[in-house]
């Protein structure tokens, strides 16, 4: 796609506002990513400033940003902070694309890039969860993710008190030579 650039967030505070805008817009468009309505912009900024930025600073999380013609339109996170017996895996979290920029291949590009980042970190297994039946589920399946199972009543819907199911998914990135 012309004009699309992906890069890694280095925890620069100047990106907190644009990242918060993407999160805020996604939640208001129905994304089930941990937040419920009402969801004020300050809460979105606080998430990036107080939760994500410290994890990026200490190396336990990596964040990729998608820019379309210079504007931040998407992001995805790779959580690396695992127990010693799980350091072969990472978790993909918070795949977000601004509603105005959807259906342009941005989510697919972010997922491909986060997989490369995981490989570079020596991770051979990726896990993620997604609201069952959500628009992201077919994307993950098309990229080789398999459903491990569905947990009913996993998380509150962003716009109501209903409890949504989540599908736990995984993808093997490489076969480990020694699995002892």
Q: Using one digit for the tens of pLDDT, what is the confidence trace for 23-79?
A: 999 999 999 999 999 999 999 999 999 999 999 999 999 999 999 999 999 999 999
Q: Is the separation of the CB atoms in 158 and 36 below 8 Å?
A: yes
What is the per-residue pLDDT for 174? Answer: 79
What is the domain-level CATH number for residue 150? 3.40.630.30
168 within domain boundaries: yes
What is the reported pTM?
A: 0.94
Q: Using one digit for the tens of pLDDT, what is the confidence trace for 46-56?
A: 999 999 999 99
What is the per-residue pLDDT for 180? Answer: 40
Q: Is the separation of the CB atoms in 65 and 86 below 8 Å?
A: no
Q: Is the separation of the CB atoms in 173 and 118 below 8 Å?
A: yes
Go through the chain and tell me how many residues it has. 180
32 within domain boundaries: yes
Q: Is the separation of the CB atoms in 62 and 78 below 8 Å?
A: yes
178 within domain boundaries: no
76 within domain boundaries: yes
20 within domain boundaries: yes
155 within domain boundaries: yes
Query: Total domain count for the chain?
Result: 1
Token pair recorded at residue 95: 């795949």
Residue 104: domain span: 4-172
Cβ neighbours of residue 64 closer than 8 Å, sequence gap 6 or more: 6, 7, 8, 9, 75, 76, 77, 78, 110, 113, 114, 117
Q: Across the chain, what does the average pLDDT equal?
A: 95
Q: Using one digit for the tens of pLDDT, what is the confidence trace for 113-136?
A: 999 999 999 999 999 999 999 999
Proportion of the chain above pLDDT 70, given as a percent: 96
180 within domain boundaries: no
177 within domain boundaries: no
Q: Using one digit for the tens of pLDDT, what is the confidence trace for 3-23?
A: 999 999 999 999 999 999 999
């Amino acid at each position: 796609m012309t004009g699309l650039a992906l890069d890694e967030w280095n925890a620069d505070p100047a990106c907190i506002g644009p990242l918060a805008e993407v999160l805020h817009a996604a939640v208001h468009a129905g994304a089930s990513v941990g937040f419920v309505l009402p969801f004020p912009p300050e809460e979105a900024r606080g998430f990036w400033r107080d939760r994500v930025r410290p994890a990026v600073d200490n190396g336990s999380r990596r964040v990729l940003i998608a820019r379309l013609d210079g504007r931040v339109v998407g992001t995805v996170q790779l959580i690396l902070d695992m127990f010693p017996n799980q350091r072969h895996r990472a978790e993909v979290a918070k795949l977000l694309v601004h509603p105005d920029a959807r259906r342009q291949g941005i989510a697919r590009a972010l997922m491909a890039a986060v997989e490369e980042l995981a490989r570079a970190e020596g991770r051979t297994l990726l896990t993620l969860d997604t609201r069952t039946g959500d628009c992201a589920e077919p994307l993950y399946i098309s990229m080789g993710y398999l459903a491990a199972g569905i947990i009913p009543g996993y998380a509150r819907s962003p716009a109501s008190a209903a409890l949504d199911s989540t599908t736990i998914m995984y993808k093997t990135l490489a076969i480990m030579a020694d699995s002892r």
